[in-house]
Structure 1
């Protein structure tokens, strides 16, 4: 099987050389330098990788898209994505390729949750990853344990099926939702990770997680509008119920009803009805588009 290892990289001069060298044992290596300001490209090339450089930083999603386009243009049978920071072990690449070689999967995700490796992740990050994975599962209607893992393998069918629009780290969730929609097979295998890497905290975990979550929620709104608007409608009715209860409490004690709270309850009831109707309408439109 002709395999391409794709390494999206941004300012990873400290680790890129070793990641390329270890990855070369398992296929050709392409480094997509996403506008680095250090020696990432130079070191990657001297380590034996083909390098494609973005002149400005366009985000991980666009770096992977460049890599996938290269794989398709050069007739590769499979592509493996691996992070440039050294947290993944390139010697586990065959584990990801095995289900593809055996014809069992189109996308194989390396999961930190199948062998307990996630226990080394700081608690706040584990909570964030759980939220993102659960949200991705709702958007894709599949059950994945580690939706945000950047260590994954795709066969040619999966590469040809992707139409990536993401520019950031929500690309992992977008891959899952797109391929699940098209009926492609997704499988997970256990991997190991290490977090004592030089550039482990290039992004603020909280703001980064919120950004990814917002985009995944956008996917849910686009793909499953009835669910999205239904939950929003339910929340609005819940607020209306609380306000209505608050408004009528004085009445049972011989006093006047709280007018402000009663008006607020009425407004939230109207909002809830509108959200539910919008969800029904968009759900019908989404079904028509899919059909």
Structure 2
């Protein structure tokens, strides 16, 4: 399908999200269509709840990881003619009603990946996650060559042109996928821009996070370090990451 310059497609990777997914899908459908839920091997009613709420559901029969779910969703969104692909996590940490603000910035800044930044939220993240996110931010910013705010937030808007332009390559299938994508995007000329969003932790419909701060950030750092080593550690990128202002909307 040809790209529609106004079309926004939402992709939601989901695993064991029966308690929250219907509300998220319904909220997103107020601002974009279609909403694609990629059920990554859930053993609960995630697929049924998402479909009942109006989502197009794609299902992995076994769990393959968040990165694999995003790749499946991106391919479907591009095939549907998306001009922008918005992503939200399926666990209720992001509010669909904040999506229009990210989309406004995305349409204005066409060569940017828009990231919802939770740093200004008055509700603090669990300490372990907060420290882990800061560590990941440092390494990803270094490899990308510019400051990246809240690099672990899955609430983003990607230009479809970027997703089409990135070369096909083997990326991590877990949480490190999004870090690798930011680094590849930066090398293709697409920086990030942050939009403040609230942080939502421990709501009544949320299950325990699949993200493991120590283990998953260690994997992310190893992925990023390998890319830096391949480029001789890129001291120029480190200098830029430490001295350039963080771009915010």
TM-score interval (norm. to shorter) = 0.7 to 0.9
Would the alpha carbon gap of residues 226 and 6 (structure 1) be closer, same or farther in structure 2, given more than 3 Å must change?
closer
Structure-1 residue corresponding to 2:106? 100
1-structure distance, mates of 2:154, 2:143: 18
Q: Secondary structure at the match of 2:11?
A: strand
| 2:154 pairs with 1:150 | yes
Q: CA deviation at 1:72?
A: 1.2
Structure-2 residue corresponding to 1:63? 69
| 2:112 pairs with 1:80 | no
2-structure distance, mates of 1:64, 1:166: 11
Which of structures 1 and 2 has the bigger CA Rg? 1
Match of 2:214 among 206, 217, 232: 206
Would the alpha carbon gap of residues 33 and 89 (structure 1) be closer, same or farther in structure 2, given more than 3 Å must change?
same
Contact 2:125 2:199 in 1 (8 A): no
1-structure distance, mates of 2:176, 2:8: 24
1-structure distance, mates of 2:147, 2:211: 27
Contact 2:123 2:200 in 1 (8 A): no
Q: CA deviation at 1:185?
A: 3.9
Deviations 1:166-186, CA, capped at 9 Å, x for gaps:
201012211211111011242
Q: CA deviation at 1:148?
A: 1.0
Q: Secondary structure at the match of 1:183?
A: coil
2-structure distance, mates of 1:76, 1:196: 32
Would the alpha carbon gap of residues 118 and 166 (structure 1) be closer, same or farther in structure 2, given more than 3 Å must change?
farther
Moved more, 33-42 or 199-208: 199-208
2-structure distance, mates of 1:24, 1:54: 23
Q: CA deviation at 1:107?
A: 1.2
Aligned pair count reads 225
Contact 1:106 1:158 in 2 (8 A): no
| 2:9 pairs with 1:4 | yes
2-structure distance, mates of 1:226, 1:186: 21
Match of 1:22 among 18, 27, 31: 27
Q: Secondary structure at the match of 1:79?
A: strand
Contact 1:4 1:30 in 2 (8 A): yes
> 1:147-226, aligned counterparts within 5 Å?
147-162=151-166, 163=168, 165-197=171-203, 198-222=206-230, 224-226=231-233
More helix by share: 1
Q: CA RMSD in A?
A: 1.7
Would the alpha carbon gap of residues 225 and 132 (structure 1) be closer, same or farther in structure 2, given more than 3 Å must change?
same
Contact 2:12 2:37 in 1 (8 A): yes
Deviations 1:3-49, CA, capped at 9 Å, x for gaps:
11100001111111111111111112000001111110011001100
Moved more, 165-174 or 206-215: 206-215
Which of 1 and 2 has higher RCO (CA within 8 Å, sep 6+)? 2
Q: Secondary structure at the match of 1:25?
A: coil
